[in-house]
Amino acid sequence: MSRYVKNVRSASIALGPTEERGAALWVGYDLDGVDDDLSHLGLIKVDHDAGAARYGVTTFVRADPEALGIEGKR
């Protein structure tokens, strides 16, 4: 199983005039049977804890690779 993160959107919400705009929202996926470079799908492979922390991801969802558009990886 490999872990990947993906930026699903950038938020443009500000709570006040000094808030930083354009905050990213990252999600983490555990993918069984996948160990490839999936950057063309917007997925970045990360080390289990150290790499994910860089993106602010603390939990991962086990996902079916085909549901994410990754065919023939099972």
Domain ranges of the chain: 2-14+21-68
CB 28 within 8 A of CB 5: yes
pTM of the model: 0.74
Higher-scoring residue by pLDDT: 47, 73: 47
pLDDT (tens digit per residue) in 10-49:
655 556 655 555 667 899 999 998 999 999 999 999 987 7
Q: Taking a C-beta distance cutoff of 8 angstroms, is the pair 4, 43 a contact?
A: yes
What do you get for the CA distance between the two ends of the chain, in Å?
A: 11
